[in-house]
Amino acid sequence: PLNIIPIILGVFIGTLLTTHEATAAGPMLAALFGTCLAPIAGKFGPILGILAGFIHLSIVSYVGVLHGGLNLYNNGFAAGLTATIFMAVMQGFKKEI
């Protein structure tokens, strides 16, 4: 249950650094559905969990056009892209070490 905190915190930090309102429906949905990225925070730590939440908000904001707005499909697609990117990068770093 504590793995979702870094993801939600990352989405909140993303609202502070971008033009999104923290109380708007879009970022709240991104935080809610972004919790499916909790295994990333559990495996790689809270810092990368925060980064995953931030990236998830960014991806959700830009791929909404593909699905006709911000909804469950958009968040799932964005979470899949975020997880794919993170796993590829982290496994690349793992091979380097």
**Which distant-in-sequence residues (6+ apart) come within 8 Å of 62 by Cβ?**
none
Which of these, 57, 52, 61, 58, lies nearest to 90 by C-alpha position?
A: 52
pLDDT in tens, 34-67: 999 999 999 999 999 999 999 999 998 888 777 6
Phi and psi torsions of 25, nearest 5°: -65, -40
Q: Where are the alpha helices (DSSP H) in the chain?
A: 4-17, 25-33, 38-44, 46-63, 72-96
pLDDT in tens, 14-31: 999 988 899 998 899 999
